[in-house]
Amino acid sequence: MKILETKDLCKIYGDDAGNELHALKNVNIHASKGEIVGIVGESGCGKSTFANIIACITKSTSGKILFNNEDITHLNYKERRDYYKSFQMVFQSPLDTFSPKMKVERYMIEPSLNFKLMDKKSAKEYAKELLATVGLSEGYMKKYPSELSGGELQRVVIARAIGLKPELMIFDECTSALDVSIQQKIINLIIELQKEKGFTIMFITHNLVLAENICDRIYVMKSGEVVDVLNKGDFRNASHPYTKNLIDSIFTIEKLKEKAS
Ligand X SMILES: Nc1ncnc2c1ncn2[C@@H]1O[C@H](COP(=O)(O)OP(=O)(O)OP(=O)(O)O)[C@@H](O)[C@H]1O
CA angle 205, 237, 33 (to 5 degrees): 55
Minimum distance, C-beta of residue 225 to ligand X, in the bound complex (Å): 12
Minimum distance, C-beta of residue 127 to ligand X, in the bound complex (Å): 31
Q: Considering only the stretches 46-54, 72-80, 121-129, 241-249, report the one whose residues sit in contact with ligand X under the rule CB under 6 A.
A: 46-54
**Any contact of residue 49 with ligand X (CB under 6 A)?**
yes
Please provide the DSSP assignment of 14-33 as one string.
Answer: E-TT--EEEEEEEE--EEET
**Any contact of residue 205 with ligand X (CB under 6 A)?**
no
Q: Are 169 and 201 in contact (CB under 8 A)?
A: yes
DSSP category for residue 168: E
**Any contact of residue 57 with ligand X (CB under 6 A)?**
no
Give the count of residues interacting with ligand X (CB under 6 A): 12
Cα(49)–Cα(56) distance, integer angstroms: 10
Q: Which residue among 3, 9, 23, 218 contacts ligand X (CB under 6 A)? A: 23
Residue closer to ligand X by CB (options 20, 254) is 20
Q: Are 168 and 87 in contact (CB under 8 A)?
A: yes
What are the start-end ranges of the H helices in the chain?
A: 47-54, 77-86, 104-114, 120-133, 150-163, 180-197, 208-214, 241-260
**Any contact of residue 177 with ligand X (CB under 6 A)?**
no
Build a one-symbol-per-residue string for 183-202: x at contacts with ligand X by CB under 6 A, - elsewhere. Answer: --------------------
**Any contact of residue 113 with ligand X (CB under 6 A)?**
no
**Any contact of residue 43 with ligand X (CB under 6 A)?**
yes
**Any contact of residue 13 with ligand X (CB under 6 A)?**
yes
Minimum distance, C-beta of residue 55 to ligand X, in the bound complex (Å): 12
Cα(222)–Cα(211) distance, integer angstroms: 16
Q: Which residue among 45, 157, 164, 169 contacts ligand X (CB under 6 A)? A: 45
Cα(197)–Cα(151) distance, integer angstroms: 21
Q: Which residue among 48, 154, 194, 243 contacts ligand X (CB under 6 A)? A: 48
Cα(109)–Cα(159) distance, integer angstroms: 11
157: helix, strand or coil: helix
Minimum distance, C-beta of residue 173 to ligand X, in the bound complex (Å): 6
Residues forming the site for ligand X (CB under 6 A) = 13, 21, 23, 41, 43-49, 206
